Amino acid sequence: MELSILDIKGKDTGRKVSLNDAIFGIEPNDHAIYLDVKQYLANQRQGTHKAKGRSELAGSTRKLGKQKGGGGARPGDIKSGIRVGGGRMFGPVPRDYSFKLNKKVKQLARKSALSYKAINNLITVVDKLEFETPKTKDFVSMAKSLQIAEKKPLIILASANKNVYLSARNLPSANVVTVSELSTYAILNAKSLVMTEEAIGAVEQIFKA
């Protein structure tokens, strides 16, 4: 697949870039995508939820009723989970939600996500993306020129660019990442991808490894 290379004003530079079919043209694997997104979201969880059990509450441990004559089982202490103010039975405790996922599965998931965007013509390639100073106004102007202002763009750079990142930080719908930070979740969460020509080469280099 070939895409025209634009400048940040949305004008065609007259050059084209060829997308590697082994990365941008595979048959998407939905299960690999599911596993990678599941792992990403699991890793975001703090796992610090906690409820107190009966052993952690302050209160008397004396029996609340006499041994005989009650007509049923003898009630336990005031901290019992079946009483108001008692401990939580089988309540949540701190835990780690992360799990291992093979590198090849993660790579397949990212390739599948990129292929989905390529199939639906949601990838825009620009020759370079640089701002002299951090200005949200300049970023908005660029987004309008590239016709991605309403498309929840994901900007993919070959390397970190502080001015671009700071210019997009105030926009809740825009996200800026480097190729090394690229995740399946970020790709699918965006409605359009904007990649620099250098980033295309960096992506191909990463998946070649």
Is 100 a residue whose pLDDT tops 80?
yes
SS3 175: strand
Q: Are 92 and 49 in contact (CB under 8 A)?
A: yes
CATH code for the structural domain at 2-45+100-208: 3.40.1370.10
Is 98 a residue whose pLDDT tops 80?
yes
In this prediction, residues 61-90 reach a mean pLDDT of 87
What angle in degrees, to the nearest 10, is found between the helix axes of 197-208 and 103-119? Answer: 140
Is 149 a residue whose pLDDT tops 90?
no
Judge if pTM exceeds 0.75: yes
pLDDT band at 209 (very low <50, low <70, confident <90, very high): low
pLDDT at residue number 62: 87
pLDDT at residue number 38: 97
pLDDT at residue number 155: 92
Is 33 a residue whose pLDDT tops 90?
yes
Q: Where in the chain is CATH 3.40.1370.10?
A: 2-45+100-208
Residue 142 tokens, joined: 């660029």
Nearest CA among 120, 130, 119, 121 for reference residue 155: 130
Tens of pLDDT, residues 121-142: 999 999 888 888 899 999 999 8
Burial 179-203 (b: 16+ CB within 10 A, else e): beebbbbbbbebebbbbbbbbbebb
Burial 84-101 (b: 16+ CB within 10 A, else e): eebbeeeeeeeeeeeeeb
Is 208 a residue whose pLDDT tops 80?
no
Mean of the per-residue pLDDT values of the chain: 90
pLDDT band at 89 (very low <50, low <70, confident <90, very high): very high
pLDDT at residue number 111: 94
Please provide residue 14's backbone torsions phi and psi, each rounded to the nearest 5 degrees: 85, -5
d(CA 93, CA 98): 15
Task: Tell whether the torsion through CA atoms of 176, 177, 183 and 184 is positive or negative.
Answer: positive
Is 151 a residue whose pLDDT tops 60?
yes
Is 171 a residue whose pLDDT tops 80?
yes
